[in-house]
A and B are shown apart, each in its own frame.
Chain A
Amino acid sequence: MMNFSLPFLLVLIAGSMLMLSFVLASRMRLLSLLRFFALQSILLAAYAGTLSFVRAEWNLLVMAGLIVVLKGVIIPRFLMRVARESGASQRLESYARPTTLLFCSGIVSILSFIAAGALTSVVGSGYFITAVSFSLLSVGFLMLVSRKDLFGQIIGFLVMENGIFTFGLALTGGLALLIEVGILFDVVVGFALMTILLNWVQKQHASARTDLLRELTD
């Protein structure tokens, strides 16, 4: 019974993560963006947890716990606090309108599904989960490219990381606990540094728009 439903659960979780990424791509308010990101991270943790049962690799449970704590709780809260304390605007900016972004994220995710098709013929991972992780990756990338403020870019980067984690989990089921913790640690420190820079930029310019950062051009 358990063995039958668990893979289905995995697909369900992955599908939800994909849907959430569309939402993330098109949201323009910081608060809701962070909430949805937290939700997606918790789903990622759930995915890792379920996978640990499927493969009986218990170190994945530790990972799942770390993901929930770090990406599900600490990171969104921290970013929110920084935004509030520095008086950043809740309204985020983008090169395109939300509907266009939604449309674009659909397109890139279709492309990711096609690319995943080519890849799974080589790599023996599940087609759907590979496609989902590629979609997350490319939607995260879409956010990095389309967002015009540092908040949006940070979240885009984190969404991309979620995609990479999903792919890693699907492919190998974990490298070694120490290494994975190291990777997660790097992501968190990277995020912290991004936030520090964001904070300084926000303080210097009273805004976190990226077009303030266009001086170095020769």
Chain B
Amino acid sequence: MFISLLFLSCLFAFVLPLFSRRVEAIGVLALTGASALFLSALALGVPALFVAPSVSPDGLWYLDPFAAILVIIIGFVQWTATMVSVPYLRTEVSHGAIGKKRVREYYALVTFFVLSMFAAVLSNNLGLMWVALEATTLATTLLVSFYAKEASLEAAWKYLLLCSVGISLGLLGVFLTAYAAATSGLTGVAGISFANLLSVAATLPPEVMRIAFVFILVGFGTKVGLVPMHAWLPDAHGRTPSPVSGLLSGVLLNVALFALIRYKVLVDGALGGSRWSDGLFLAFGALSFIVPAAFILVQKNYKRLLAYSSIEHMGFVVFSFGLGVPGMIVGTMHLIGHALTKSMLFFAAGNTLLHFKTTKIANVKGVLQALPITGGFFLAGILAILAVPPSPLFVSEFRLVGAALSAEPWYLAGMLLAGAVIFAGFIRLLMPMLFQRSSEQPASRERLNLSHAAMALHLVAIIAFGIFFLTPAGESFITNIIKSL
């Protein structure tokens, strides 16, 4: 019932901004819609966190605690992203960077994007999940190219082409899974229903599932941004309007990863005790963690730097999911922490971009001086992403070393080394940007607006989760989420 409410809210949020032509009014309407959406996501997600997985009566939707936590995250970040979008678009329109007409287009696309993420996370039907995942790419392409400048067109083209090709390969995996189901006696729609597949996972032909998983891993992995299929990610995340970058980096990557994990559960079931898929996760995770370090160390553009950091964090999560149950706990904690932190960082980067009109690190000086509030959140976000307590990432980093030290010491050694390089890159590049004094006195004091409220909400959530994960209750909460997988 709550699922229908969720999709109705999507429709509501989609339609509402169409009622006005004034930028201000559209913002208010969009925010109303987003708030309704957030509330219905809470209504759906929160109760589901603590109960066993359930399939909707029509067989189309599957809700387990893991999906529920993602629903909540999507709901929350889309809400805050809309809060950030309102002042962001207002400023861009007043600067003449975009036309007034495009504001409605923006909100419509964002809502459609959010809708497809919800559908991808909730669908029981793997075909529908594929359709929804591809729909996320389609919805965001026009957002990537939103500024219609040369570089954003280039980014959009690469994004669309690589993700479409990747997800098409994933489709082969879906077909093969359906085929495997057919050999286990599930045909038609039943053959691609996740709940059904899960119940017969042990009888699925392992050879077929293996091949299917290869296509899924490479295909969906492209959307997750795993190295070496990641090339589109820094381009796209760096060029999109910042609130959407926050959604892309903080949420969409997790949604794609979630789809990947769904299939991993199936293939692990089919392969019995084999750790084949774990090995792939470890290798891709470590590679995705290590390679971005080089790009972060010598980065010139702060939004791209954040984007590379997202690749690295996805690598972290994927790696942890290759480590069995203790790793999955780490991965889930990290996923939650990263989603909240990275989107906040992109919001702060957005305000910085609006003020300094450039994403080049070398041209930005004294963010804390010019934008004390945004700068403060930026700083807090950087510290949180660098796993300074009380960030949830501190807990997950700590636990990852504990989980991987004896199991995968060599991978871990490489990752810790790369971690130091990433750390160096962040501090070397971003701290001077924030702290250095610039000779120009800011023309006016930074005024509080909705975006600051959004970042404050994120910060509160980050600290709350950081402290919560330290407690035994936090651990059992996450364990409960993992158990349903």
Q: Quick one: closest A residue to B162, CB to CB?
A: A144
Q: How far is the CA of A32 from the CA of B188 in the complex (A)?
A: 39
Question: Is there a chain B Cβ closer than 8 Å to A126's Cβ?
Answer: no
Which chain A residues lie closer than 8 Å to B154 at the CB level? 212-216
Q: Quick one: closest B residue to A154, CB to CB?
A: B161
Closest chain B CB from A84 CB (angstroms): 21
Q: How far is the CA of A182 from the CA of B135 in the complex (A)?
A: 10
Interface size on B, residues (CB 8 A): 53
Chain A, 131-182, CB within 8 A of any chain B CB: 141, 144, 150, 153, 157, 160-161, 164, 167-168, 171-172, 175-176, 179-180, 182
Question: Is there a chain B Cβ closer than 8 Å to A194's Cβ?
Answer: yes
Q: Are the CB atoms of B172 and A167 closer together than 8 Å?
A: yes
Q: Are the CB atoms of A123 and B179 closer together than 8 Å?
A: yes
Which chain B residues lie closer than 8 Å to A180 at the CB level? 127
Q: Are the CB atoms of B155 and A216 closer together than 8 Å?
A: yes
Q: Quick one: closest B residue to A119, CB to CB?
A: B211
Q: Quick one: closest B residue to A177, CB to CB?
A: B189
Question: Is there a chain B Cβ closer than 8 Å to A197's Cβ?
Answer: yes
Q: How far is the CA of A193 from the CA of B191 in the complex (A)?
A: 31
Which chain B residues lie closer than 8 Å to A157 at the CB level? 161, 164-165, 168
Q: Are the CB atoms of B189 and A175 closer together than 8 Å?
A: yes
Q: Are the CB atoms of A189 and B211 closer together than 8 Å?
A: no
Q: How far is the CA of A28 from the CA of B148 in the complex (A)?
A: 29
Question: Is there a chain B Cβ closer than 8 Å to A1's Cβ?
Answer: no
Question: Is there a chain A Cβ closer than 8 Å to B46's Cβ?
Answer: no
Contact A218 B300, CB 8 Å, known A171-B176, A186-B138? yes
Q: Are the CB atoms of B188 and A176 closer together than 8 Å?
A: yes
Question: Is there a chain A Cβ closer than 8 Å to B295's Cβ?
Answer: yes
Q: How far is the CA of A122 from the CA of B179 in the complex (A)?
A: 11
Which chain A residues lie closer than 8 Å to B172 at the CB level? 164, 167-168
Q: Are the CB atoms of A179 and B160 closer together than 8 Å?
A: no
Q: Are the CB atoms of A190 and B160 closer together than 8 Å?
A: yes
Q: How far is the CA of A144 from the CA of B174 in the complex (A)?
A: 23
Interface size on A, residues (CB 8 A): 41
Question: Is there a chain A Cβ closer than 8 Å to B104's Cβ?
Answer: no
Contact A200 B130, CB 8 Å, known A123-B211, A190-B164? no
Question: Is there a chain A Cβ closer than 8 Å to B235's Cβ?
Answer: yes
Q: Are the CB atoms of A175 and B150 closer together than 8 Å?
A: no
Question: Is there a chain B Cβ closer than 8 Å to A183's Cβ?
Answer: yes
Closest chain A CB from B229 CB (angstroms): 14
Q: Are the CB atoms of A179 and B192 closer together than 8 Å?
A: yes
Q: How far is the CA of A138 from the CA of B258 in the complex (A)?
A: 28
Which chain A residues lie closer than 8 Å to B164 at the CB level? 157, 190, 194
Contact A218 B304, CB 8 Å, known A193-B142, A193-B160? yes
Question: Is there a chain B Cβ closer than 8 Å to A204's Cβ?
Answer: yes
Which chain B residues lie closer than 8 Å to A201 at the CB level? 153, 157
Q: How far is the CA of A182 from the CA of B123 in the complex (A)?
A: 14
- What are 30 pairs between A and B in contact, CB < 8 Å? A119-B211, A122-B208, A123-B179, A124-B183, A144-B165, A157-B165, A167-B172, A175-B175, A176-B125, A176-B188, A179-B125, A179-B128, A182-B128, A186-B131, A189-B138, A190-B137, A190-B164, A193-B142, A194-B160, A194-B161, A196-B142, A200-B145, A213-B153, A213-B154, A214-B154, A215-B154, A216-B154, A216-B235, A218-B298, A218-B301
Q: A144-B165, A171-B175 are in contact. List 7 more A-B contacts (CB 8 A).
A: A175-B175, A176-B125, A176-B192, A179-B131, A200-B145, A200-B148, A215-B150
Q: Top 8 A-B pairs ranked by shortest CB distance?
A: A179-B127, A182-B131, A213-B154, A122-B207, A186-B134, A168-B175, A216-B235, A176-B189
